Amino acid sequence: MKFTTKLRRRALKSGAVLLFSSLILSCTQQPNVQTKKETYTAWQDFLSLADFIEDKGDRTAGTELEAETANWIAQQWESLGYEVKRLPFEFNLQGERLSSQNLSIDIPGKSSELLIVGAHYDSVGTNTGSKGLIDNGSGVAALISLARLLKDESLPYTTRLIVFGAEERGLIGSKAYVNRDDIDLKNIRGMINLDTIIGGDKLYVHSAHSTPYKCEAIKELNYNSASVLREGIRAASMQSFPDSPHLLHAAFEAYPEGETGPWSDHSPFACAGVEIAYIEATNFNINGKDGNDGYSQAADKAYWDCFDEENLTSCDRPNEKAWGQIWHTKFDQRAALFPVMKDKLQAQQEQNVETLGVFLKDAAGFMSR
């Protein structure tokens, strides 16, 4: 039995079916590793992480809580049998010298060429009350699920999962990573960034902007805006979720269709010559504060002061404060999200993990279509 969320969802619809599936599982599945994969799903990984962060404050870069979060992620990966590499770095912030770290694990593939899947684990919420559940608990939980899902799989590329520190302070972790002396950038086939992959109304996958980013503090500049990786992920998503695949956002102002800005960990990689794709949950159909730019994530009045459902915008533009924005706000926590969209969060988390799993198992194939 494959790790497929569709099967699982169907099974959950009926207790009888569930009982039947568990009977089949218990009769046919002997090895421990297999059982572990099947019984622990993408949503459960997300819920475990939600439990971990629920009673804590925000994981601001350079704080003890950020370090504690790194340890927690390392434990999850280690319990799956991976060797975790810790890559510490230091940075200056308002005159203070602070430390953080990136963590990575490798899932060996037939080729030693790397496909990287990365997600930042710090958050920002001291002034807002955000707990960083979707930004970026969702991306981190997906990297734990992928480690579980792809364990002992035969992959075309060596797959490196990385959690980055200090993203919210200016992509410090991902910049430190591409600037490392021991990283051979030419050996990286692509980098998939997961940042806030649930909670917005729709799932998108972007490529880097065709106009180069500013690329500050990158050692080797060789800008790459190819979209083969993006299209490969879309093909995998269309195969597994033909009714609701990951989308390209429509063109808006200076952003051509499907192209994104430099505001997350993909950008140092694109600057350093690595092709990127970026998965994000938001809603480019909402006419937000500055137009259809994807900053407003959800068309649900729970996240607006005054929501105009017909026109997907604020009905009190001059006084609107909330703008359907979840990331970096008090809405980014379980209490504000689960009563409104728990089922959607689950479906999105599962779709992201399944799509990435399907893609990574045949990445070369999907990228040559």
83: number of Cβ within 10 Å: 9
User: Nearest to residue 33, comparing CAs of 67, 64, 3, 74?
Assistant: 3
Helix, strand or coil, per DSSP, at residue 313: strand
Q: Which residues bind Zn ion (CB under 5 A)?
A: 135-136, 195
- Looking from the CA of 292 toward its CB, the CA atoms found within 13 Å total 14
Helix/strand/coil (H, E, C) string of 106-130? EECEEEEEEEEEEEECCCCCCCCCC
Q: How far is the CB of 120 from Zn ion (least distance, A)?
A: 6
CB closer to Zn ion, 103 vs 363? 103
Q: How far is the CB of 208 from Zn ion (least distance, A)?
A: 17
Beta bridge partners of 115: 159, 190
Rounded to whole angstroms, how far apart are CA atoms 253 and 344? 29
Q: How far is the CB of 32 from Zn ion (least distance, A)?
A: 35
Cβ atoms of 206 and 256 closer than 8 Å: no
Alpha helices in the chain (DSSP H): 5-13, 15-28, 32-39, 42-54, 64-79, 138-150, 172-178, 228-240, 266-271, 334-361, 363-367
CB closer to Zn ion, 195 vs 201? 195
CB closer to Zn ion, 3 vs 121? 121
CB closer to Zn ion, 101 vs 297? 297
Q: How far is the CB of 236 from Zn ion (least distance, A)?
A: 23
CB closer to Zn ion, 21 vs 123? 123
Q: How far is the CB of 134 from Zn ion (least distance, A)?
A: 9
CB closer to Zn ion, 140 vs 233? 140
Beta bridge partners of 106: 160
Q: How far is the CB of 267 from Zn ion (least distance, A)?
A: 12
